[in-house]
Amino acid sequence: MSNAEGSADPTNDPEVIELATRLFGFARRGETAALDAYLAAGVPADLTNDRGDTLVMLAAYHGHAGTVRRLCERGADVDRLNDRGQSPLAGAVFKGEDEVVRVLAEHGADPHAGQPSAVEAARMFAKPHYLELFGAGE
């Protein structure tokens, strides 16, 4: 589909949609090397899906610390909230993904970002080791 200037709208291009689907799959499955090749070629580290989930959110939620680390090294925004106001850090806390939580914390993720925040999730699910990591006490 083209607009008045004649350029294609990438959001309606089946090839672009297929590529984005592949990239989000790499993040969900922790296929770091495959994803990193696309990042090196210019795919934005903060690419989001139709629900506002970033590559970091998907990798974090599915427990792929190495993929999260690489995305962080590529400049991904560790605090970018999805359309439901959730942060990658809170998702990792909810899922009990200790190594992902550590990686995000090392890269400056805000434990107070989002709703519920990572601190609130740690309190809600009785995970005091996260509260200690965040310096939030009990």
What class does CATH assign to 84-138? mainly alpha
Phi, psi (deg, nearest 5) at residue 98: -55, -50
Going from N- to C-terminal start, the domains of the chain cover 9-74, 84-138
Cα separation, 89 vs 80, in Å, equals 10
Q: What is the mean pLDDT of the chain?
A: 92
What's the pLDDT tens digit per position in 68-111? Answer: 999 999 999 999 999 999 999 999 999 999 999 999 999 999 99
Q: Is the pLDDT of residue 23 over 80?
A: yes
pLDDT score at 7: 52
Query: Are 72 and 103 a contacting pair, CB within 8 Å?
Result: yes
Distance separating alpha carbons of residues 34 and 26, to the nearest angstrom = 7
User: Both ends of the chain: CA-CA distance in Å?
Assistant: 54
- Report the amino acid identity of residue 23: L
Radius of gyration of the chain (CA): 16
User: Cis before residue 116, ω within 30 degrees of 0?
Assistant: yes
Contact by Cβ (8 Å): 69, 103: yes
